[in-house]
A and B are shown apart, each in its own frame.
Chain A
Amino acid sequence: MSHILEVRNLSKSFHGLRAVHEVNFDVGEGELLALIGPNGAGKSTCFNMLMGQLKPTTGEVHFQGENLVGKYPRDIWRKGIGRTFQITATYSSMTVVENVQMALMSFHRRVYSMLPYAHKMYKKEALTFLDMVGLASQSERHCAILAYGDLKRLELAIALCHNPTLLLMDEPTAGMAPTERESVMQLTADIVREKNISVLFTEHDMDVVFGHAHRILVLNRGELIANGSVDDIRNNPMVQEVYLGGGNLFDSDEAAS
Chain B
Amino acid sequence: MELFFAQLLTGLANAATLFLVASGLSLIFGVTRIVNFAHGSFYMLGAFIGYSLMQVLPGMFGFWLSVLLAGLVVGVIGVVVEILVLRPVYKAPELFQLVATFGVILVIQDLALLIWGADDVLGPRAPGLKGIVRIMGEPVPKYDLALIAITPFFLFGLWYLISKTRIGILVRAATQDREMVGALGVNQAWLFTGVFFLGATLAGLGGAIQLPKGGADLLMDFNILAAIFVVVVIGGMGSLPGAYVAAALISVLNVFGVTFLPQSTLVLMFVVMAVVLMIKPYGLFGREEVAGEHGQVGEPERPIKPAGVKVRLLVAAGLLLLALLPLFGSDFSQVLTSDVIIFCLFAASLHFILGLGGLVSFGHAAFFGGGAYVAALLVSHVDAPMEIAFLLAPIGAGFAAFIIGWLCMRLTGVYFAMLTLAFAQLIWSLVYQWGEFTGGDDGLVDIWPSTWLNGTTPYYYFTLVFGIGGILLLRHAAHSPFGYALRASRDSSRQAEATGINTKRIQWAAFTFAGSLAGLSGALFVFSKGSVFPTELEIARSFDALIVIFLGGVKTLSGAVVGGASLEYAKDFLTRFEYWRLTLGLIIIFVVIVAPEGISGTLRKVAERFGIIRQREGES
User: In the bound complex, how far is the Cα of B495 from the Cα of A107, in angstroms?
Assistant: 13
- Contact yes or no, B296 A92, CB < 8 A: yes
- Contact yes or no, A94 B484, CB < 8 A: yes
User: In the bound complex, how far is the Cα of B483 from the Cα of A117, in angstroms?
Assistant: 10
Query: B502: which A residues are within 8 A, CB to CB?
Result: 72, 74
- Contact yes or no, B618 A89, CB < 8 A: no
- Contact yes or no, A73 B303, CB < 8 A: no
Number of B residues near A (Cβ < 8 Å) is 37
- Contact yes or no, A83 B619, CB < 8 A: no
Interface residues of A in 111-136 (CB under 8 A from B): 111-119, 121
Closest residue of chain B to A91, judged by CB?
B491
Partner of B306, one of A117, A145, A155: A117
B33 on the A face (CB < 8 A)? no
Give the shortest distance, in Å, between B342 (CB) and chain A (any CB).
Answer: 23
Query: A93: which B residues are within 8 A, CB to CB?
Result: 300-304, 487, 490-491
Query: A158: which B residues are within 8 A, CB to CB?
Result: 495, 499
- Contact yes or no, B300 A92, CB < 8 A: yes
Closest residue of chain A to B300, judged by CB?
A144
Query: A144: which B residues are within 8 A, CB to CB?
Result: 300
Query: A143: which B residues are within 8 A, CB to CB?
Result: 303
Give how many A-B residue pairs fall within 8 Å (CB-CB).
Answer: 127
Number of A residues near B (Cβ < 8 Å) is 43
Chain B 327-355, CB within 8 Å of chain A: the 1/0 string?
00000000000000000000000000000
- Contact yes or no, B492 A89, CB < 8 A: yes
- Contact yes or no, A105 B484, CB < 8 A: yes
Give the shortest distance, in Å, between A56 (CB) and chain B (any CB).
Answer: 18
- Contact yes or no, B302 A142, CB < 8 A: yes
- Contact yes or no, B491 A114, CB < 8 A: no
User: In the bound complex, how far is the Cα of B488 from the Cα of A98, in angstroms?
Assistant: 10
Determine which residue in B499, B502, B506 has the highest number of CB atoms from chain A within 10 A of its CB, and name it. Answer: B499
Chain B 587-620, CB within 8 Å of chain A: the 1/0 string?
0000000000000000000000000000011110
Closest residue of chain B to A87, judged by CB?
B494
User: In the bound complex, how far is the Cα of B484 from the Cα of A95, in angstroms?
Assistant: 11
Closest residue of chain A to B503, judged by CB?
A74
Query: A117: which B residues are within 8 A, CB to CB?
Result: 306, 479-480
Known: A111-B485, A142-B303. A92 touches B495 (CB 8 A): no
Query: A195: which B residues are within 8 A, CB to CB?
Result: none
Query: B488: which A residues are within 8 A, CB to CB?
Result: 91, 94, 102
A sample of 16 inter-chain contacts (CB < 8 A) reads: A51-B498, A74-B497, A85-B495, A89-B498, A91-B488, A91-B495, A92-B492, A101-B484, A102-B499, A107-B500, A111-B484, A112-B481, A112-B482, A114-B483, A143-B303, A162-B499
**A-B contacts besides A89-B492, A105-B481, A118-B479, 14 pairs, CB < 8 Å:** A77-B499, A90-B491, A93-B300, A93-B302, A93-B487, A93-B490, A94-B491, A95-B303, A105-B484, A112-B481, A117-B479, A119-B306, A141-B617, A142-B616
